[in-house]
Amino acid sequence: LNVSTYLHGIYPRSEAVVAATRDLDRGRTTPEAVDHLYDQDLKELVQAQEEAGVDFFTDGLLRWQDLFRPILEACPGLKPGALVRWFDNNTFYRQPEVNGKLTLGTPTLEILDSGAVPQPRVATLPSPYLFSRVALAKSDPNDVMQDFAAGVLKPLARQLASDGYGLIQLQEPWVASHGIEDDDWKPFAESVGVVTDGLEATTVLHTYYGDASPWADRLRELPVDAVGFDFIHTDLDALGTEWPTGILVGCLDGRNSLIEPADHVIDFVKRAADRLEPSAIYLSVSSDLELLPQATARQKVLAMGEAGRQLKETL
Amino acid sequence: MMKALLTHEMGSLAKPGWRVKAYAGQPLGQADLEEARTWGERLSVPGHEELVDLLGRGPFDAGQKQEIRQWSSRYGVRFCESAGLDAVYDGEQQRSEMYAWAIAHAGGFDFRGTVRSWDNKYYSKAAVTGPISLEVPYHSEEFAYLRSVATAELKIPITGAYTLAAWSFDEYYDTDTSLAGLAAERKARRADARRRFTLDIATRLIRPNVEDLIRLGGQWIQIDEPGGSTEPDELELFVDSFNASVEGLDGTFSTHLCFSDYELFFPAIERMTGCKQFAVGFANYDTRELGTKKEDRPGYGIIDKFRDLPYRPALGLGVLDIHSDFIEPPELVRDRVLYAIEVFGDADRIHVTPDCGLRTRSWEVAYAKLVNMVEGVEMARKALGL
């Protein structure tokens, strides 16, 4: 069984970048000085990933203010709106407001800090269903979902795949946290298919911040290479067996400062492999690490890497 | 407190550059002294020349830093009084930050590092690592000083138990990181740990602080709970923690909620009968167009639920978006207030406030917003013949 490890989502900034961005907002430093510190953060994140032995590298979306912002800035038909709580967390995002056609603007979008990141790379993007549910729009949410998938995610994913991103992950916390109606599954699956069809990259749809097991039968049918679960909230035994896809095992808690011992992680992943019989295992964190301080997040990355190393030898 | 259309601030203001630099041991420039002089004159801060003189004599010893911190408080109080607010505080000038100040004065916590709140705004987040304790009440010295300098009514903001728990990591009450057992069992274990953690904060930190403030003459204490609805299935715990913090005490208690799905608070807060006012941020969700009809005020759609609470608390109506430099015109404030009065049918139960603390805005912007808020309230009074 092939086991891969990688980090997804937004990674926390260092204290130095936090202070510098605050100073920049108050006119006390220069954009160049802040850029230099971002570069340092990225270098340290790459080092942590190399030390952990990950199979796909991320830039940690260090410059992203939230999961949607760079996309809003790149799409003329979108703008950032009110601050809204990010699920059950003490962090907030700007609600995307749809005020025009959902297409990528020109010049070509540069939303990921690719230069210093080794290949193969992982990119993290919002799932079309998530986007449609958080967006403020006058049209039907499912129309927003399909337009966003076709007009924004599809060209973006293709661009990323051609830029060395071997794995593209769609973040889908809405399904696990708030659920999904039966009638919405078909347009959701179609929207995912629009993004993944013919894409020359591995695709993962990751559910988190809740228990996604009530939708396991539907999730396994999605046109992706792997489905991710937040096992802090999801029962392994509720997911059935003989998964036709890979499974992202999110078993290192992205919101808990306690570091999981490697043996806890290894035991769980072995159980997941035995029970679900997936085509591949992707070991990762349950959710973005941005809700942890950077020093704690780094420890999580290394713990993930250590468990992954041992699993690769035994599975 | 129950005056119709009473106006008040919501807690924090930015700290002046001279206060920040002096406290951090950084050299002050002429611009810092000028800032202290200009605002001192503008706000009519009694004796502000003494501050300007003091600021010119850095570096400062511990006693001078304390003096500068108190000057900052004095400016904060005058800032609110001069803007015309009915109830004031000092913009939390003596505190580091609403979470860090409380945790730094409590036993049983260790800071772990900074975590994002939104955009480039971060806070220092701690973990509970041992039994929670309070050595000395941490708002009493500040309140005693403010009583000596304020002329308007004081409303004391104090960070609530639920928010302190929700904003902390738990490395003491639930330490099991294994994924053994059912998810439902793990969830129940986490919920039990969170309940014990939150109620320990309420009884061991918040209540002793509140008791001491009352002993010192504090009358109106606002329990700040911006994290109140963080976990949708913990609203009963939020209410229990408020009640455990203030029940049976002889004071006037209110709470502040912001940037949340306010629907989640119902029906749980029907049990929060000791809460005399809910100060709630709405402007962030509203349009900037004028109008007093329901369709003109989409950000205020839920206020009828607060109206219908059986114990008839006042609603602190958030009318200023604290995340924007947009200066709400008085007419916009007026229309938001008139709409709320129309829904409530009772101006006595409407108070008027910013959505939240204004610390992310410059003093210039914050002051202009507050002045317009007060003017907008006056316009509403006139429109209603109050």
For β-strands A165-172 and A202-207, DSSP reports them as parallel
* Four-residue CA torsion sign, B124, B129, B132, B133: negative
| ipTM tops the 0.95 cut | no
Per-residue confidence (pLDDT) for residue A113, from 0 to 100:
65
Question: What is the pLDDT tens value at each position of chain B, 386 positions in all?
Answer: 678 999 999 989 999 999 999 998 999 999 999 999 999 999 999 999 999 999 999 899 999 999 999 999 999 999 999 999 999 999 999 999 999 999 999 999 999 999 999 999 999 999 999 999 998 999 999 999 999 999 999 999 999 999 999 999 999 999 999 998 899 999 999 999 999 999 999 999 999 999 999 999 999 999 999 999 888 899 999 999 999 999 999 999 999 999 888 999 999 999 999 999 999 999 999 999 999 999 999 999 999 999 999 999 999 999 999 999 999 999 999 999 999 999 999 999 999 999 999 998 999 999 999 999 999 999 999 999 99
Q: Higher-confidence residue: A1 or B79?
A: B79
Give the C-alpha separation, A4 to A251, whole Å: 14
Residue A81 host element (H or E): strand A78-85
Per-residue confidence (pLDDT) for residue B11, from 0 to 100:
86
Looking at the complex, report in whole angstroms how far the Cα of residue B211 sits from the nearest Cα belonging to chain A. 29
Per-residue confidence (pLDDT) for residue B261, from 0 to 100:
87
pLDDT digit string, tens, across residues A66-116 = 999 999 999 999 999 988 999 999 999 999 999 999 998 854 456 666 678
Using the Cβ of B169 and the Cβ atoms of chain A, whether some distance falls under 8 Å is answered with yes
Hey, what are A268's tokens?
A: 């769980």
Looking at the complex, report in whole angstroms how far the Cα of residue A92 sits from the nearest Cα belonging to chain B. 5
Per-residue confidence (pLDDT) for residue A273, from 0 to 100:
97
* Strand residue runs (E) in A127-258: 165-172, 202-207, 226-230, 246-252
Per-residue confidence (pLDDT) for residue B135, from 0 to 100:
85
Which among B15, B20, B32, B119 is the top mutation candidate for probing chain A, defined by the most A β-carbons within 10 Å of its own β-carbon?
Answer: B119
* Four-residue CA torsion sign, A158, A162, A168, A171: negative
pLDDT digit string, tens, across residues A253-306 = 999 999 999 999 999 999 999 999 999 999 999 999 999 999 999 999 999 999
Per-residue confidence (pLDDT) for residue A115, from 0 to 100:
76
**Strand, helix or coil for residue B9:** coil
Mean pLDDT of chain A: 95
Q: Mean per-residue pLDDT for A221-229? A: 98
Give the C-alpha separation, A84 to A91, whole Å: 8
Using the Cβ of B129 and the Cβ atoms of chain A, whether some distance falls under 8 Å is answered with no
Could you give the C-alpha distances from B361 to A238, B156, B206, B346, B373, in angstroms and in order? 49, 21, 28, 32, 15
Per-residue confidence (pLDDT) for residue B170, from 0 to 100:
98
Hey, what are B336's tokens?
A: 């938001």
B51 in Cβ contact with B65 (< 8 Å): no
| Cβ–Cβ below 8 Å for A264 and B178 | yes
Chain B CB contacts of A234 under 8 Å are: 183
For β-strands A92-98 and A78-85, DSSP reports them as antiparallel
Using the Cβ of B260 and the Cβ atoms of chain A, whether some distance falls under 8 Å is answered with yes
Give the C-alpha separation, B261 to B317, whole Å: 16
| Vertex B72 angle, CA B67 and B75, to 5° | 125
Place of tokens 């992943």: A269
Using the Cβ of A63 and the Cβ atoms of chain B, whether some distance falls under 8 Å is answered with no
* Strand residue runs (E) in chain B: 87-88, 106-118, 121-134, 153-159, 169-170, 220-224, 252-257, 275-280, 314-320, 350-354
Residue A311 host element (H or E): helix A294-314
Which among B21, B98, B116 is the top mutation candidate for probing chain A, defined by the most A β-carbons within 10 Å of its own β-carbon?
Answer: B116
Q: What's B17's DSSP letter?
A: H
Give the C-alpha separation, A203 to A223, whole Å: 9
Per-residue confidence (pLDDT) for residue A110, from 0 to 100:
61
pLDDT digit string, tens, across residues A177-218 = 999 999 999 999 999 999 999 999 999 999 999 999 999 999
Q: Could you say which of A18, A82, A296 has the minimum Cβ distance to residue B112?
A: A296
Of B220, B339, B346, residue with least CA distance to B283: B339
pTM of the model: 0.92
Per-residue confidence (pLDDT) for residue B364, from 0 to 100:
97
| Cβ–Cβ below 8 Å for B231 and A90 | no
| Cβ–Cβ below 8 Å for A235 and B184 | yes
Give the C-alpha separation, B313 to B121, whole Å: 32
Using the Cβ of A293 and the Cβ atoms of chain B, whether some distance falls under 8 Å is answered with yes
* Four-residue CA torsion sign, B3, B7, B13, B18: negative
B65 in Cβ contact with B22 (< 8 Å): yes
Chain B CB contacts of A91 under 8 Å are: 115-118
Give the C-alpha separation, A299 to B59, whole Å: 40
Of B106, B119, B103, B210, residue with least CA distance to B166: B103
Per-residue confidence (pLDDT) for residue A105, from 0 to 100:
80
Of B5, B3, B12, residue with least CA distance to B222: B12
Looking at the complex, report in whole angstroms how far the Cα of residue A95 sits from the nearest Cα belonging to chain B. 10
Contacts of B205 (CB under 8 A, 6+ apart): B102, B106, B132, B134, B161, B164
Q: Could you say which of B118, B182, B261 has the minimum Cβ distance to residue A92?
A: B118
Per-residue confidence (pLDDT) for residue A111, from 0 to 100:
65
Of A134, A133, A109, residue with least CA distance to A123: A109
